Chains A and B, each alone.
Chain A
Amino acid sequence: MIRWTSRVKFLFLLPAVLWVLTFTIFPLGYSIYLSFHNVERQVVVSGREQVPVLDAAGNPVLRPDGKPRTRTEVQRELQTTFTWNQFANYARAFRDEQVWNAVRVTGTFVLVGVTTQILLGLALAWLFNRNIVARGFLRSIMILPIFATPIAIGYLFFTIFYEVGGPLSWTGVPWLSNPNWALTSVIIVDIWQWTPFCFLVFLAALQGIPDEMLESARLDTSSEWDLWRYVILPMLLPVIAIVLLLRLAEALKLFDIVATLTKGGPGIATQSYTYYAFNVGFKLNDFGYASAMAFLLLIVVMVIVTLFFRRLRQSYE
């Protein structure tokens, strides 16, 4: 027999279970459902009723023939229709030029941004792993961007990139008004914010390499490059892989910087995949299509992550 006190544990679990069901499982299931449907919400006239016309005192107004004067009251009803459309929303995504543009923008952003962050992060970690002046202070300064809110950063860089009177105006570069430069600006902001994260993790990994190993390697070579290539880099590889994975998954969801810095413009030059999906869903109220786009991204991310981990596991085995 279960004691009352044993049942209590289920009660305590209930909020967490409800939370997951309400805010994770249900939205996920519902958005899958939406992605296979055309969702139409409209107000339809559900009926008409003749009601008596009343005068100021609340009495019925009579017609000359003595019958009560009436007026037609229209009853309206909100109707939601979910029309099963098989894979039409998914197929539409492949035909939609804006989707391909968003894929191109996001792909460029991920490729250039994440690669630069990892290379810069490695270089900085190497630098800060040596005895340099004010290392602790500089390290603290370096990691500050990680803690800033991307939305705030977007607005901050809007003022920095502003061509007239902005601190970078002397460059003469059309940071936000030229399609190519606008994407470059978005990438620069992301690099500025996330290179410190790569740097911090790489620095911790570098400091975790045993001194004995490095000292014995130095007996075999005096070349710093060889030391990196044959000793340090192989040891850092798992950490680099994890950082790459984390940054990749995050970068594919690029939204906040675009939303604040360029709003996807000029034109659609910086419209990322998630920003476009957001606009389709919440601006144009096409929830079925937006859900399909979101799931396509989810599938892409899952494929990348699975392949990535498989490759990582193989390299270990």
Chain B
Amino acid sequence: MFRVPRDPLYRSISRRRFLELGGGAATALGAGSIAVGLNSVITRRPVYAASSDDAKWKQYAGSKLVFMSENTPPSFAIRDNLKPFYDLTGIEVEILTDDLPVVQQKVGIDLRSGKADFHLNYVQDKPIGAPFADFYADLMRFAGDDTLPQDPEGVADEAWFENFLTACGRMYSGERIIAFPYDCAVACTFYRQDLFEKYSKDFEADHGYRLEFTPDTTWKQLYEFAAFFKKLREAGQDVPYGYAQHHGSFAWTTQLDIQRMLFAHGRWIDFDIDDKLGSKTPGPTNWGDETSVFIMEKFREQAEVCHPDNLANGTLQLNTVYQAGQIAMQVQYHEFAASIEDENTSRAAGGKTAYAACPKGEPSWIKNGGPAVNGCNCGIGGIGINANASEDLQRAAYIFAVWATSRDTQFNVLKGVGGTPTRKSVLDIPEVQAARQRPTSMPNALTFEAVYDIGIRDPNFVLGPKIPEANEYHQIILTEVQKCVSGKQTAEEACLAIKEQVDDLHDL
């Protein structure tokens, strides 16, 4: 049926020889693919200060970079639209995204092991920037380099929203800049305006004031709002629960959740340090003082009127609970507004949600004599360059960092999946200004008044402690706060336990 050659190859090679050849080929292929797969590629064409801008952008054409980032809208948007960058530079960028705790673990291992599998990192100020600050390249070295392309608006403090560059770029001193602000997650209040209007009269009859959110709404009032909704629900009405906190696994969001309440009451902070710059030697913590114990108790009381799954919900789940119409209010990061306004996935979409600044401190709850403010905290996500990478890789990475944080890129991301601009100039674009009112094609812009006009401005802005042991600190707070909220210990015991562990952490 088939023609068999007289002396076919397979007959001239013994089985043993065949296996030897096969094994050798497989080994060579495996080793080759590992070598190719693990290595970045760098090619360079020399440029000079006097070279054209085009030549400066293209000097690393043919190179390949890897960017490890959080699964946030800017990274998704940039990953889906890398073609303009490739066309501009000829550099291929692979963007890997994951949950922030995973990103933190992966970049931590990469940086501390002296490797550079990820040349560019998402440098979230506290969980990544603070512990690994020393492992990032000083971007000012590149910013002053005439042989590299630079952003026409520059990268000085004035180019970004106030405090942003310091928050993610300056760690412990102003000596170095380790990251440029790439995105931001600023806390503000999301609330169901439709329900607030519907039940306002009933609430007013009970409490003597209107059920509404203003910049002067206090944490005490938020508690009363939440208790009101819970009471309605328990009476059999078809209403969501009032409120829920940030718990679950994102330890730093639990820390931020109680911190904004603490800061609102007399601008209390965890350590007596420059909050924006952070400190490697923060000294004794303020946990355990009268303010912290009092507010911890209020936080515990607040939990009692929250959604029943309060302790099981991390930040992402909390947003899903709000999207599902199960709560009427959440203090959430403004990057989530796009998901709330998506009518395909959210029951809170279609004009039902309004946005306000974080609640203000209740004057009668202030114990340290400080002012009542709209304590607002945030995470400024920077883009940083792994200092373990070679000089050329760092330079190529800088080109990407400049492009990724430019005004045009941030504007495109905002128009696309919903970015969170860090450059002031983005807000000056007429389309963005128009988008701050409904109807809007940029849902995140609906939060801009609460976030950029109130939240990030002093005296409301609080960053959270930037200390090398930030992750240990967050874990301690999460553990003790949840033990308190779940009834395992009193507020005072929780605060004293935090103090003991945190001071022990700093050998005090």
- Where the two chains meet, the residues of A that have a C-beta atom closer than 8 Å to any C-beta of B are 5, 8, 11-12, 15, 41-43, 54-58, 76, 78, 80, 98, 158, 162-165, 174, 176-179, 262-269, 279, 282-285
Contacts and interface: CB of A to CB of B under 8 A. Distances in A.
Interface in B457-508: 471-472, 475, 478-480, 482-483, 485-486, 488
Contacts of B486: 177-179, 266-267, 269
A283 B482 contact: no
A177 B471 CA distance: 23
Contact of B49 (A5, A55, A80, A264): A55
B89 interface: no
B84 interface: no
A179 B108 CA distance: 31
A215 B288 CA distance: 73
A11 B101 contact: no
B247 A164 contact: no
A268 B34 CA distance: 40
A101 to B, nearest CB: 9
B143 to A, nearest CB: 14
Interface string B35-66: 00000000000001110000000000000000
Interface residues of B, number: 47
Nearest to B308: A163
A160 to B, nearest CB: 12
Interface string B129-156: 0010011000000000010000000000
Interface string B96-124: 00000100110011001110000000000
B408 to A, nearest CB: 25
B441 interface: no
B130 to A, nearest CB: 13
B202 interface: no
B146 A265 contact: no
Instruction: Say what secondary structure dominates the interface of chain B.
Output: helix
Contacts of B23: 11-12
B307 interface: yes
B27 A15 contact: yes
A162 B326 CA distance: 12
A288 to B, nearest CB: 13
B388 interface: yes
Given A178-B311, A267-B482, 15 more contacts: A12-B23, A43-B134, A43-B135, A55-B49, A165-B324, A176-B312, A177-B312, A178-B486, A266-B483, A266-B485, A267-B479, A267-B480, A282-B105, A284-B475, A285-B108
22 contacts: A41-B113, A43-B134, A57-B49, A58-B50, A76-B387, A80-B114, A163-B308, A163-B312, A164-B241, A164-B326, A165-B324, A177-B308, A177-B311, A178-B486, A263-B248, A264-B249, A265-B312, A266-B312, A267-B479, A282-B108, A284-B471, A284-B475
Nearest to A260: B249
A266 B247 contact: yes
Interface in B234-248: 241, 247-248
B309 interface: yes
B340 to A, nearest CB: 18
Contact of B326 (A56, A158, A165, A267): A165
A56 B311 contact: no
Interface string B211-250: 0000000000000000000000000000001000001110
B302 to A, nearest CB: 14
B20 interface: yes
Contacts of A162: 309, 312
Given A54-B49, A76-B387, A282 B109 contact: yes
